[in-house]
Amino acid sequence: MTDTIKRLRIYTDEAAYFGDQKVFEVVALRARAAHVAGTTVFRALFGFGHTAHEHRRHVLDDDQSIVVEILDEESKLRAFVDSLSDLEHLGPVMLEAIEVLHWPSSDRGRG
């Protein structure tokens, strides 16, 4: 394994749908199907400005932002992002450098 572990962050909001599924659930299900090393989904208190999808109802209550964090090797993360190209209503997607100090041992493998 010469690949570097990075963190992928995908912003969306809870009210964004792809067909009849929430976008963040589609992303998480695909991440699971792709056997990425780890996925964590955060719900923000609020957010605005990220997606064309947003509704401007209130000054500070526009949408329920969701951030999906995925940890894996960089090449796998880039391939995963490619697999999301059919999704609308995705907010910014970014890759972040990290230095891994500890990685849990697992008998599930990671490949």
User: Does residue 18 belong to the site contacting a copy of itself (CB under 8 A)?
Assistant: no
Beta carbon nearer to a copy of itself, 1 or 60: 60
Subset of residues 22 to 51 that bind a copy of itself, contact rule: CB under 8 A: 25, 28-29, 32, 36-51
Subset of residues 46 to 105 that bind a copy of itself, contact rule: CB under 8 A: 46-52, 59-60, 65-67, 71, 78, 81, 90-105
Burial class (CB in 10 A: 0-12, 13-18, 19+), 93: middle
Task: Give the count of residues interacting with a copy of itself (CB under 8 A).
Answer: 52
CB of 6 to a copy of itself, least distance (A): 9
* Cα–Cα nearest to 27, from 68, 60, 88, 64: 68
CA distances in angstroms from 84 to 30, 31, 51, 87, listed in the order given: 9, 10, 16, 6
CA atoms within 13 A on the CB side of 2: 0
4/21 Cα distance (integer angstroms): 32
CB of 2 to a copy of itself, least distance (A): 19
Contacting positions for a copy of itself (CB under 8 A): 7-9, 11, 25, 28-29, 32, 36-52, 59-60, 65-67, 71, 78, 81, 90-108
